[in-house]
C-alpha cells in the first residue's frame, strides 16, 4: 500500500515539476521579449535623421564582407530602398545574445531584413512587410555522372533523384538544430517512406554540408533553394532541380507603430521587383557563376619559354616590389586566366581582378582598370601595401601566404583568423597548419560570431584553397620557366613547404585533401567506416579486433570439392610465394595458386 502511495506521489511531483519548469521558461522568455514598441519612430523621423537603420546578421545571403567590400542580397536591396527615400543606410549587426525584434522595438533599428517566415509569434511582436521573394526546399545532390571520391578513390555512378519519394531508404544529412530535420520527419510520416536522416554536430552549416556533397563525401541533403542556388554558383556539379514542399513567402519586419514606413516599403517593393535592378541583383547572388572560366591557353606559351603575353609587364612591376615575377604570374592565372577583360560576379576587374574600391585606393582610374599595364601596376602596388600590413610576420614564406590570403579575402578576414588562432592557443604569425585552418572556420557561426572576430562571416574555403593553388602554380612555373638575374628579385626566396597537419579543436585534418577533411574525423560524415582517417587499420572499438573472428568470414576456400573449416586462415602466412631465385629471376611457386573463393551458405 505504501509503495503504491509513494509511486502516486512521485508521479504527481514529476508532473508538477515539469509544468513548473515549462511555466518558468515561458515566463522568462516573455520577460526577455519586447512585444510592443518603446519608441515613436516612423518614416518622417527617419528622413529627418538622415539614415535608415537596418538590423541584419552575417551570413552567405544577407550580409558579408568580401575583398573589403560590403556585399549581400538583402544588403543591396536595403541600399536601394534607403536611396529611394533619400537617406543613408546604417547597419546594425545583431550579436549572438541579442533578439533582433527587441532591437527593433527599442528603436535601435528601423527594419529587420533577415528574410522572415510568417508565424503568429512573429506577428505578435512586429509588423511584417509584403513578401519580397519566396523560397522552397530542394534536394541537393550531385549531377548524374561518374564521380570519384578523393578520400577513398572509389568511383561511383551518381544518379539523380527527381521526387521526394526517391528519398526512400536514402541517407540524408542535415545540420544540428536544423529546420530541415522536422520537415523530413513530416514527409516521412505523411507519405510513408523510410529515410535515414543523420544530424551532423560540430556547428556545421548547410553551406558546409552542400560543399561536402560537391566534394563527393556525402550524397544528399535538403536546403532552401536560395542557399542551394548560391552554392550551385560555386560548385557546377550540383543538382537542385528536385523540389519538396510548397514555396513559402519571406518578409522584412518593422515596428507595429510605424505604418508610414510599412506602407512605403510595400509600395517600393511592388515597383522594384518588376524592374531590371532587382533581376540584376538576384542573378548576381543566386545564378551567376562565381568562377572565371575563359582565358588564354598557357600551355602554348610555356612551350616557348613564356607564361603569358604579359611577361614583360609582369617582370617590370614585380621587380619594383622585389617579388619573383613568376609568383605574380601565378596570381594572375588564378585571378583571371590571363584574360585582361575578365570581370567577376562581385565586380573585380582585369588581369589582377581589382575591386573598384581597391583600384581607387591605389590610384588606378576606372578608365584604365582593364589596361594590362595599369592593372598589373595597381595589383602589385596592392601586394606591396599588404606586405606592410603583415610586416610583423617575420618568416618570409609565411608572410607571403598571409599576403596571398589577404589579396583574396581582404586583410580583415585574415586578421580575424589570426586572432582566432591566438585565442585557441595557436601561433597567430604562422599560416601553415595554424591560421589557414581558422580561415576555414570563418564560415561556422561558432567562430565568426566570436567576440574577437570583427568582420563576420567569410567563405573561408576560398582563401584556404587560393593560397595552396597559387603556391603550387608558382613552383610549377619555377620548374618550367628559367629567368635571368635581371628579371628575378634579389632576395625573394619562397620555401616549398609540405602541407601541415592540424591537430585542431575538433581533431586531425587531412591537409593533402584540403576540404575533404573539414571535420575532425570522417566518422562525422561516414559513420559506418571501420577505420580511422589515416587508414592505419585501427579498429574504432578498442579491444575488439574484427579479424579475430574467423566465423564471421564472408568467404571460405574450397579444396577438392569440400569446404575448408572456416576457423582456419584463408592464406598460409609463412608459405613462400616465390621459389628460390634462379638465373631467370623469381619464379612462381606452383603450390601457391589463387584461391577460389565461394560465398558461404
Q: Are 452 and 446 in contact (CB under 8 A)?
A: no
Q: What is the DSSP code (8-state) at residue 431?
A: I
Beta pairing partners, 253: 112, 128
Question: Which three three-digit cell numbers place residue 140?
Answer: 541537393
Is 335 among the catalytic positions?
Answer: yes
Pairing of strands 562-563, 555-559: antiparallel
CA distance 173 to 235: 18
Provide Rg for the chain, Cα atoms.
30
Question: Which residue do the cell numbers 576555414 mark?
Answer: 440
Q: Are 413 and 463 in contact (CB under 8 A)?
A: yes
CA distance 534 to 518: 14
The string of DSSP letters for 257-284 reads: T-HHHHHHHHHHHHHHHTSHHHHHHHHH
Of 355, 338, 294, 291, nearest to 71 (Cα)? 355
Pairing of strands 154-158, 145-149: antiparallel
Question: Which three three-digit cell numbers place residue 434?
Answer: 595554424
Of 143, 76, 89, 443, nearest to 283 (Cα)? 76
First to last CA, the chain: 58
Strands (E), 346-392: none
Query: Sign of the C-alpha dihedral, residues 318, 323, 327, 332?
Result: negative
Which helix (H) or strand (E) is 400 found in, with range?
A: helix 396-409
Q: What is the DSSP code (8-state) at residue 510?
A: -
Q: Which of 74, 211, 217, 335 is catalytic?
A: 335
Beta pairing partners, 45: none
> What phi, psi does 581 have (nearest 5°)?
-70, 135
Q: Tell me the helices (H) and strands (E) count for the chain, helix number first.
A: 20, 19
CA distance 542 to 529: 15
Of 351, 335, 326, nearest to 474 (Cα)? 326
CA distance 129 to 131: 6
Neighbours of 104 (CB within 10 A): 28
CA 498: distance to chain centroid? 24
Q: Report, as residue numbers or ranges, the catalytic residues.
A: 335
Amino acid at each position: 500500500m505504501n509503495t503504491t502511495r509513494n509511486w502516486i506521489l512521485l508521479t504527481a511531483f514529476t508532473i508538477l515539476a515539469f509544468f513548473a519548469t515549462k511555466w518558468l521558461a515561458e515566463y522568462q522568455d516573455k520577460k526577455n521579449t519586447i512585444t510592443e514598441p518603446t519608441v515613436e519612430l516612423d518614416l518622417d523621423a527617419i528622413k529627418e535623421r538622415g539614415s535608415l537603420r537596418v538590423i541584419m546578421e552575417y551570413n552567405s545571403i544577407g550580409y558579408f564582407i568580401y575583398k573589403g567590400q560590403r556585399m549581400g542580397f538583402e544588403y543591396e536591396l536595403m541600399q536601394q530602398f534607403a536611396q529611394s527615400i533619400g537617406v543613408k543606410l546604417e547597419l546594425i549587426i545583431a550579436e549572438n545574445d541579442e533578439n533582433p525584434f527587441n532591437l527593433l522595438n527599442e528603436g535601435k533599428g528601423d527594419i529587420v531584413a533577415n528574410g522572415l517566415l510568417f508565424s503568429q509569434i512573429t506577428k505578435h511582436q512586429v509588423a511584417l512587410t509584403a513578401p519580397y521573394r519566396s523560397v522552397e526546399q530542394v534536394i541537393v545532390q550531385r549531377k548524374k555522372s561518374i564521380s570519384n571520391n578523393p578520400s577513398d578513390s572509389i568511383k561511383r555512378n551518381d544518379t539523380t533523384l527527381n521526387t521526394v519519394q526517391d528519398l526512400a531508404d536514402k541517407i540524408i544529412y542535415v545540420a544540428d538544430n536544423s529546420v530541415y530535420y522536422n520537415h523530413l520527419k513530416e514527409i516521412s510520416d505523411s507519405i510513408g517512406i523510410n529515410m535515414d536522416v543523420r544530424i551532423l554536430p560540430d556547428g556545421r552549416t548547410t553551406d558546409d554540408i552542400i560543399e561536402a556533397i560537391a566534394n563527393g563525401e556525402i550524397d544528399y541533403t535538403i536546403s532552401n533553394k536560395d542557399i542551394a542556388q548560391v552554392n550551385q554558383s560555386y560548385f557546377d556539379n550540383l543538382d537542385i532541380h528536385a523540389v519538396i514542399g510548397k514555396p513559402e513567402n519571406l518578409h522584412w519586419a518593422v515596428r507595429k507603430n510605424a505604418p508610414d514606413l510599412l506602407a512605403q516599403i510595400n509600395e517600393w517593393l511592388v515597383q522594384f521587383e518588376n524592374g531590371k535592378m532587382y533581376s540584376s541583383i538576384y542573378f548576381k547572388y543566386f545564378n551567376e557563376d562565381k568562377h572565371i572560366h575563359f582565358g588564354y591557353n598557357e600551355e602554348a606559351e610555356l612551350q616557348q619559354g613564356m607564361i603569358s603575353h604579359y611577361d614583360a609587364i609582369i617582370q617590370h612591376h614585380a621587380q619594383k616590389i622585389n617579388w619573383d615575377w613568376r609568383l605574380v604570374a601565378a596570381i594572375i592565372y588564378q585571378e583571371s586566366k590571363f584574360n585582361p577583360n575578365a570581370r567577376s560576379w562581385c565586380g573585380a576587374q582585369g588581369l589582377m581582378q581589382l575591386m573598384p574600391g581597391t583600384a581607387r585606393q591605389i590610384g588606378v582610374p576606372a578608365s584604365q582598370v582593364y589596361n594590362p599595364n595599369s592593372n598589373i601596376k595597381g595589383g602589385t602596388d596592392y601586394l606591396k601595401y599588404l606586405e606592410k600590413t603583415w610586416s610583423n610576420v617575420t618568416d618570409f614564406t609565411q608572410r607571403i601566404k598571409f599576403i596571398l590570403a589577404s589579396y583574396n579575402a581582404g586583410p580583415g578576414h585574415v586578421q580575424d583568423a589570426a586572432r582566432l588562432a591566438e585565442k585557441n592557443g595557436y601561433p597567430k604569425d604562422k599560416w601553415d597548419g595554424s591560421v589557414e585552418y581558422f580561415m576555414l572556420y570563418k564560415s561556422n557561426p561558432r567562430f565568426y560570431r566570436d567576440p574577437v572576430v570583427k568582420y563576420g562571416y567569410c567563405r573561408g574555403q576560398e582563401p584556404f584553397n587560393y593560397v595552396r593553388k597559387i603556391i603550387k602554380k608558382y613552383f610549377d612555373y619555377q620548374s618550367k620557366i628559367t629567368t635571368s638575374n635581371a628579371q628575378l628579385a634579389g632576395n625573394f626566396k619562397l620555401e616549398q613547404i609540405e602541407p601541415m597537419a592540424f591537430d585542431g579543436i575538433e581533431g586531425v585534418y587531412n591537409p593533402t585533401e584540403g576540404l575533404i577533411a573539414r571535420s575532425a574525423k570522417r566518422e562525422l560524415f561516414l559513420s559506418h567506416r571501420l577505420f580511422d582517417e589515416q587508414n592505419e587499420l585501427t579498429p574504432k572499438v578498442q579491444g575488439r579486433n574484427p579479424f579475430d573472428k574467423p566465423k564471421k568470414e564472408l568467404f571460405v576456400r574450397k579444396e577438392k570439392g569440400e569446404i575448408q573449416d572456416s576457423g582456419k586462415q584463408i592464406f598460409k602466412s609463412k608459405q613462400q610465394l616465390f621459389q628460390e631465385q634462379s638465373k631467370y629471376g623469381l619464379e612462381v611457386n606452383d603450390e601457391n595458386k589463387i584461391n577460389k573463393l565461394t560465398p558461404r551458405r
